[in-house]
Amino acid sequence: MSPLRFDGQVALVTGVSDFGLGLTYARMLAERGCAVVVNDLGRDWAGNSNAPGTENAVRLISESGGTAIGVTGDVVHESERIVGAAVEAFGRLDIVVNNAGAGGDFDTQVDVHLHGAHRISEAAWPHLSATGAGRILNVASNAVWGSPAMPGYGAAKGAILALNRTQAILGAAAGVRANAVLPAAWTRSTAGIQADGFAEFMQDRFPPEAVGAFAVYLLHRDTELSGEAFTVGGGLVSRVIQAETHGAIAPDTEPESWPALIDQVMAPVDLTVAPTMWAQLDGHARRLGPDAYAQWSAIGIPTTVAAKVGD
C-alpha cells in the first residue's frame, strides 16, 4: 500500500478546535508532509467567546514534526485575509477544508456553515486553480435528512451539497475537485448532545480519525472523484446520492389526475442520479416522450459535469 503524501502542498483547514474533526484533518495532512494553516474564530457552539484552537493545534502539529501556522478570523467576513495569510506564509494553496461551524440562530448557522464555506472557497479559488490539482472538502451533516432542532443548521448543510456539486462543475476545467463528507464523529459539537449513553456511543464507535482517513484520501491529488458526497464514520463510508424515481405522467393538467398516480410517483424504482441540473432536465424530457426529448435535444445544452452552456 503506497502512502498518500502531500509533500510541497499547503492546506487551509477552518474551524480547528481543541479536539474533533478540524484538528484531525490538520494533523493527518501534516503527518503526510502537507504544510497546514489552521483557522478558528474563538467561539463555542453556543456563540460564547473562548480561546481560539489555533495555538494548540499549531503546537500539536509542530511537536509531531509537522509544519503549521494559525490564523484567527471569521470565515464569513475575513475570508480574503485568512486565505491571504496562508498564501503569504507558504506561497501557494492546494487544499481547502471547509470545516468551520456554529450554533446560534438560523442566520448565524447559515452564515457560518454555508456563506463561510462559499467565501473561503471563492477567495482560495485562484490559488487552487493555479496548482492544476486543487482540492476542496466541504463538511455537510446527516441533518440534510431533517433535524428535530436547529433548522438553520439542516438548511445550511443541505445547501452545502448543492454548493459542492456546483464547485465540482466550475472547477473541472482547472483540475479543482470538490467533495463533501457527512461525518459521524466524537467532536466538540456532538459532545453537546444530551442523551443518555450518546457520548459513550460516539466515543466508542466514532473516532474522528476514521473520518479523517477518508477525508485525506479525498484530498489527495490522485483522487479523481468530484462533486460527490459521502457519509463517513466508524470506518464505514457510503455514497450519498440525490435521485429521482421514474415518476408518472398525467393525462391532463387537472389536479384530480394525481390521486390515482401518486403511488407510482413515490415508488422507489428505476432511480435516476443526475450529475448536473441540465442532466436532470435531460432525463426529465426523455421520460416525457420522444417529441419532448427531440425538442430539448435540439437546444444543444451540454449535460456533462465539465461542460458549461456556450462551450
Q: How far is Cα 234 from Cα 180, in angstroms, rounded to an integer?
A: 17
Residues linked to residue 16 through DSSP beta bridges, in sequence order = none
By annotation, the residues acting in catalysis are 153
3-state secondary structure 19-88: CCHHHHHHHHHHHCCCEEEEEECCECCCCCECCCCHHHHHHHHHHCCCCEEEEECCCCCCHHHHHHHHHH
Enumerate residues 6+ apart whose C-beta is below 8 A from 3: 32
Enumerate residues 6+ apart whose C-beta is below 8 A from 227: 164, 165, 167, 168, 169, 178, 179, 275, 305
Q: How far is Cα 209 from Cα 187, in angstroms, rounded to an integer?
A: 11
Q: How far is Cα 149 from Cα 215, in angstroms, rounded to an integer?
A: 27
Q: Which residue in 58, 30, 48 sits closest to 188, CA to CA?
A: 48
